[in-house]
Amino acid sequence: MTNKILFIANWKMFGDLNSVKSIQSVINLSKKKNYKNAKIIYCPPYTLLNNFVIKTRKTNLDVGAQNCHYEINNGPFTGSISSTMIKKLGAKYVIIGHSENRSNGETNNLINKKIHSAILNNLNVIFCIGENLFEKKNKKTNKILKKQIGMGLKKIKKIDKIIFAYEPVWSIGTGKVLKNKELIKQVIIIKNIIENKFKNQKAKIIYGGSVNNQNINNLKQINEINGFLIGGASQNSKKFIDIIKKTIN
């Protein structure tokens, strides 16, 4: 993996064939010398994965899926996609444990199985963690994060292919973001939890939750993070480019 600044676009359940060409301006930007330090990764819906892989071929951009099944072999799992299929398609990343899936019943155990499957397939995992509003209000944030990390990474030995995406659930799509001081404090706690569990290994942590072209000037000041996981604002190439430009310049 890379030490570059990560800009991961999570398109969620948005986008159709027409949106594939909209990323051309982002590809053009990535070719400029100034932006060599930016690692841009698109996670479109499954229906567009192949198109994105083709579109980003011979560019610096990479592609990831938004989820996968835990089973690596083919099987009777209607509606599911395995990490093996994702890998074979040419995608290099997969988001696992997003709160929008956790809230649909995805447990820490299931997430753990999915992470094992992705690692077996040599995919990079964007592992989402974060507390919801109830947990935050009840001062359970650190306990929840510890549990998500502990259970999610059970029997995982190396974290070199894992990107930890700290996404407070209450911040996703709401425009609400922690003040830098509080966010830094939280990221350091997460780093400590991870590096206590994985001795002598470095945790790569990114932030997600209402990142946009307005608050990026603030967020980019945070040295403790390695980049951003961006939902809404990443679907609009102008806004996404604005975020990348403001961060790099």
Residue 45 in the binding site for ligand 13P (CB under 6 A): no
Which residues make beta-bridge pairs with 65?
A: 94
**Does residue 65 interact with ligand 13P by CB under 6 A?**
no
Output the smallest distance, CB 68 to ligand 13P, in A. Answer: 15
Q: How far apart are CA 233 and CA 38, in angstroms?
A: 17
- Cα distance between residue 87 and residue 137, in whole Å: 40
Length of the chain in terms of residues written: 249
Kindly state whether residue 53 participates in binding ligand 13P, applying the rule CB under 6 A: no
Cα–Cα nearest to 110, from 53, 138, 71: 71
Residue 167 annotated in active site: yes
Does 167 bind ligand 13P (CB under 6 A)? Our answer is yes
Q: Which of residues 5-44 bind ligand 13P (CB under 6 A)?
A: 10
Least spacing, CB of residue 200 vs ligand 13P, in Å? 29
Would you count residue 209 as binding ligand 13P (CB under 6 A)?
yes
Choice between 8 and 123, CB closer to ligand 13P: 8
Q: What is the C-alpha end-to-end distance of the chain, expressed in Å?
A: 23
Choose between 152 and 198: whose C-beta lies nearer to ligand 13P: 152
122 Rama class: left (phi>0) / alpha (psi -120 to 50) / beta:
left
Dist. CA 89–CA 71, nearest whole Å: 17
Residue 105 neighbours by CB distance under 10 Å: 7
Residue 69 appears among annotated catalytic residues: no
Please identify which of the residues 69, 98, 100, 131 carries the catalytic annotation.
98
Taking CB positions, which residue lies at the least distance from ligand 13P? Answer: 231
Is residue 168 at the binding interface for ligand 13P, with CB under 6 A as the rule?
no
Q: Identify residues 172-201 at the interface with ligand 13P (CB under 6 A).
A: 172-173
208 binds ligand 13P (CB under 6 A): yes
Of 42 and 198, nearer to ligand 13P (C-beta) is: 42
Compute the C-alpha angle 230/125/88, nearest 5°: 110
Residues carrying an active site annotation: 98, 167
